[in-house]
Amino acid sequence: MPKQPDSAPTDTVQSNDTSLPSDLAQAILSIEGVIRLEPSMRDLFRKADPRRGSKRDRRENLDGINVTTIGNITDVSVDVAIAGAYQALATGQHIHDTIQAVLHTYPLEPGHTMVNVLTIEYDE
């Protein structure tokens, strides 16, 4: 029977690096069942996007995490690999809730949050 991750996400995230993507990465990677953040072609294209860092449309990202803030509304998309022993839906929902919790520690209004389970790996 696949495991379910702990249900309660932390209210605050302790981090020496105060950037939102770093805080999100730290929080997501601490969830049981999450193996890693998955890089994608979107990450490569976003790094080359000349609009990145403009005043109106601020984009920050680490591999596997894409944060877009327009005004005060922040959309977050994450791409993850999870372990086969953990149910994808439950783990994905936990990641989603964790993202919301991290966003609430910032003076930001959560927009659309998307969690993409790209890879499932089993211990053989």
Partner 1 sequence: MAVKSDNRLGCGRDIDDVWSRTDQAPTVHESHCSHCQAARHSLSDLNDATQQLKSQDVQDPALHLPSELLNKVTSIARAEVRRGNRIPLHRPNQTQEPTLTISEQAIATVIRHASDQLPGIEASRCTARTDEDTPGSAQTPVTIAVELYVSVSATSPIPDQITELRTKIIDALHTEIGLDAATIDVFVQDLHDA
List contacts with partner 1 (CB under 8 A): 1-2, 38-41, 43-44, 84, 87-90, 92-93, 96, 112-122
Q: Are 117 and 92 in contact (CB under 8 A)?
A: yes
Residue with Cβ nearer partner 1 (13 or 95): 95
Question: Cβ 14 to partner 1, closest distance in Å?
Answer: 26
Nearer to partner 1, 27 or 115 (CB): 115
Shortest gap between Cβ of 38 and partner 1 (angstroms)? 8
Q: What are 3's strand-pairing partners?
A: 86
CA dihedral 25, 30, 33, 37 (to 10 degrees): 20
CA atoms lying within 13 Å on the CB side of residue 8:
3
Smallest separation (angstroms) from partner 1 to the CB of 103? 14
* DSSP SS3 for 116: strand
Pick 61 or 93: Cβ nearer partner 1? 93
Beta carbon nearer to partner 1, 18 or 41: 41
Distance (Å, rounded) from C-alpha 47 to C-alpha 12?
A: 28
